[in-house]
Chains A and B, each alone.
Chain A
Amino acid sequence: MAQIAQVTPKPRALRSPFTLKLEPRLTTPRWLPWVTTIGSVIFALLAGAAILAYVGGNPIEAYRHIYQAAFGDLYVFSDTLVKATPLILTSLACLLAFRMRLWNIGAEGQFYLGAWGATLIVESVLPNDASPFLFIPLMLASGFVCGAIWGLIPGILKARFGVNEIITTLMMNYIALLWVAYWVFGPWSERGFQLTPTFPRSAWLARATDFAGVFRPFSGMTVHLGLIFALLAAFGVWYLLNRTRWGYEIRLIGDNPNAAKYAGVNIAMMTILVFMISGGLAGIAGMSEVAGVVHRLQDRISPGYGFTAIIIAWLSKLNPWAVIPVSIVFGGLLIGSREIQPSGLARMLQGILLFMLIGTEVLNRYRIKIERVRA
Chain B
Amino acid sequence: MTFWVNILSAGVSNGTALLFATIGELLAERAGVLNLGVEGMMLMGAVAAYATAAATGDPWLGLLVGMLAGGLLSLLHAFVVITLRADQVVSGLSLTFLGTGLSLVLGEGLASVKGVPTIPVFSIPIFAQIPFLGPIFFDSKSALVYIGYLLIPVVWYYVYRTRAGLHLRAIGEYPAAADSLGIDVYLLRYFYVMLGGILAGLAGAALSLSISPGWFSELTTSGYGWIAIGLVIFAQWDPVRAAVGSYLFGSLRRFTLDVQGVQSVFGIGNPFFFDRNLQFFLEMLPYALTIVVLIIGSRAALRKRLGAPAALGLPYVRGERGLV
Residue B250 CB within 8 A of the other chain: no
Q: How many residues of A contact B (CB 8 A)?
A: 53
Which of A157, A179, A362 touches B86 (beta carbons < 8 Å)? A362
Nearest A-chain residue to B89, judged by Cβ: A103
Q: How far is the CA of A327 from the CA of B258 in the complex (A)?
A: 44
Check A351 against B98 for contact (C-beta < 8 Å). yes
Within 8 Å of chain A (Cβ to Cβ): is B99?
yes
B60 within 8 A of A: no
Chain B residues, CB < 8 A from A347: 97, 100-101, 104
B105–A358 touching, CB < 8 Å: no
Q: How far is the CB of B181 from chain A (nearest CB, A)?
A: 8
Contact with B along A336-373 (1 / 0, CB 8 A): 00000111111111111011011101100010000000
Do A351 and B102 touch across chains, with their CB atoms under 8 A apart? yes
Q: Known contacts A350-B101, A359-B84; is A171 also within 8 Å of B291 by CB?
A: yes
**Contact pattern, B 299-316, Cβ under 8 Å of A = 1, otherwise 0:** 101100000000000000
Name the CB-closest residue of A to B297.
A163
Q: Does B280 contact A (CB under 8 A)?
A: yes
B-chain residues with CB within 8 Å of residue A178 when the two chains form the complex: 280-281, 283-284
Most buried by A among B226, B278, B280, B281: B280
Give Cα distance in the complex from A2 to B54, angstroms. Answer: 65
Segment of A65-73, A230-238, A306-314 in the binding face: A306-314
Q: A174-B284, A174-B287 are in contact. Are A348 and B98 (CB under 8 A)?
A: yes
Question: Which residues 208-256 of B have a CB within 8 angstroms of A?
Answer: 217, 223, 226, 229-230, 233
- Nearest Cβ distance between residue A152 and chain B, in whole angstroms? 14
Number of A-B pairs, beta carbon distance below 8 Å: 150
Complex: chain B residue closest to A14, CB-CB: B187
8 A Cβ contacts from A45-66 to B: 51-52, 55
Within 8 A of B (CB), among A278-335: 307, 310-311, 314
Could you tell me the distance between the alpha carbons of A277 and B96 in the complex, rounded to whole angstroms? 26
Contacts of B280 in A (CB 8 A): 178-179, 181-182, 185-186
Query: Would A342 and B108 count as touching, CB distance under 8 A?
Result: yes
Residues of B with C-beta under 8 A to A220:
none
A262 beta carbon closer than 8 Å to chain B: no
Question: How many residues of chain B are within 8 Å of chain A by beta carbon?
Answer: 55
- A22 and B97 in contact, given A7-B182, A167-B229, A168-B294 (Cβ under 8 angstroms): no
Asked if B299 contacts A307 (CB within 8 A), the reply is: no
Let me know if B295 is at the binding interface, CB within 8 A: yes
Q: In the assembled complex, which residues on chain B have CB atoms less than 8 Å from the CB atom of A51?
A: 102, 105
A142 to B180, CA, bound (A): 58
- Whether B94 contacts A167 by the Cβ 8 Å rule is no
Interface membership of A32, Cβ < 8 A: no
Tell me whether A182 and B277 are in contact (CB under 8 A): yes
B84 touches A362 (CB 8 A): yes
Interface contact B91-A350, CB-CB below 8 Å:
no
Check A167–B100 contact: CB distance below 8 A: no
Give the chain B neighbours of A162 by CB distance below 8 A.
298, 301-302
Contact B103 A358 (CB under 8 A): no
Asked if residues B83 and A307 are in contact (CB atoms below 8 Å), the reply is no
Query: Shortest CB–CB separation between residue A341 and chain B, in angstroms?
Result: 7
Interface string of A181-224 (1 = CB under 8 A from B): 11001100000000000000000000000000000000000000
Contacts of B233 in A (CB 8 A): 164, 167
* In the assembled complex, A175 has its CB within 8 A of some CB on chain B: yes
Residue A170 lies at the interface, judged by CB distance under 8 Å to chain B:
yes
Which residues of the partner chain B approach A181 to less than 8 Å between Cβ atoms?
280
Per the bound structure, the CA–CA distance linking A344 and B164 in Å amounts to 41
Chain B residues with CB under 8 Å of A157's CB are 291, 294-295
Interface residues of A in 75-116 (CB under 8 A from B): 103, 105
Q: Judge if A31 is at the interface, Cβ distance under 8 Å.
A: no
Q: Whole-angstrom distance between the alpha carbons of A51 and B103 in the complex? A: 11
**A342-B104, A351-B100 as given contacts; A175 in contact with B294, CB under 8 Å:** no
- Tell yes or no: A20 within 8 A of B by CB: yes
Is the beta-carbon distance between B298 and A161 smaller than 8 angstroms?
A: yes
Give A366 to B288 CA distance when docked, in angstroms. 42
**A164 partner, pick from B95, B284, B294, beta carbons under 8 A:** B294
Do B281 and A348 touch across chains, with their CB atoms under 8 A apart?
no
Q: What's the least CB distance linking A330 to chain B, in Å?
A: 13
Tell me the chain A residues, 1-45 only, with Cβ under 8 Å from chain B.
Answer: 7, 9, 14, 20, 22
Q: Which of B95, B229, B284, B290 has the most CB of A within 10 A?
A: B284
Contact with B97, one of A52, A185, A342, A351 (Cβ below 8 angstroms): A351
In the docked arrangement, what's the CA distance between A178 and B222, Å?
A: 13
B226 engages A55 (CB within 8 Å): no
Q: Does A74 contact B (CB under 8 A)?
A: no
B222 to chain A, nearest CB (A): 8
A residues less than 8 Å from B284 (CB atoms):
174-175, 178-179
Are A348 and B83 in contact, CB atoms less than 8 angstroms apart?
A: no
Evaluate contact between A168 and B86: CB separation under 8 angstroms. Answer: no
Quick check: A311 and B287 within 8 Å, CB to CB? no
Q: Say whether B91 contacts A355, CB under 8 Å.
A: yes
Is B257 on the interface with A (CB-CB < 8 A)?
no
Say if the beta carbon of B8 comes within 8 Å of chain A.
no
For the complex, is A130 an interface residue (Cβ under 8 Å from B)?
no
**CB of B106 within 8 A of chain A?**
yes
B21 is an interface residue with CB less than 8 A from chain A? no
Which chain A positions have C-beta within 8 A of B95?
Answer: 351, 355
A9 touches B98 (CB 8 A): no
13 contacts between A and B (CB under 8 A): A22-B84, A51-B105, A167-B290, A167-B294, A175-B287, A178-B284, A185-B277, A341-B108, A351-B98, A351-B100, A355-B76, A358-B80, A362-B85
- Beyond the given pairs A163-B294, A361-B86, 19 more chain A to chain B contacts, judged by CB atoms under 8 angstroms and listed by A's residue number, are A52-B105, A55-B106, A103-B89, A163-B298, A166-B89, A167-B294, A171-B288, A172-B287, A175-B287, A178-B283, A182-B280, A185-B277, A186-B280, A342-B104, A351-B100, A352-B101, A357-B94, A359-B80, A359-B84
Chain A residues engaging chain B, CB cutoff 8 angstroms: 7, 9, 14, 20, 22, 51-52, 55, 103, 105, 157, 161-164, 166-168, 170-172, 174-175, 178-179, 181-182, 185-186, 307, 310-311, 314, 341-352, 354-355, 357-359, 361-362, 366
Q: Which A-B residue pairs are the 9 nearest by beta carbons?
A: A344-B104, A348-B101, A351-B98, A347-B101, A351-B97, A186-B277, A342-B108, A354-B94, A182-B280
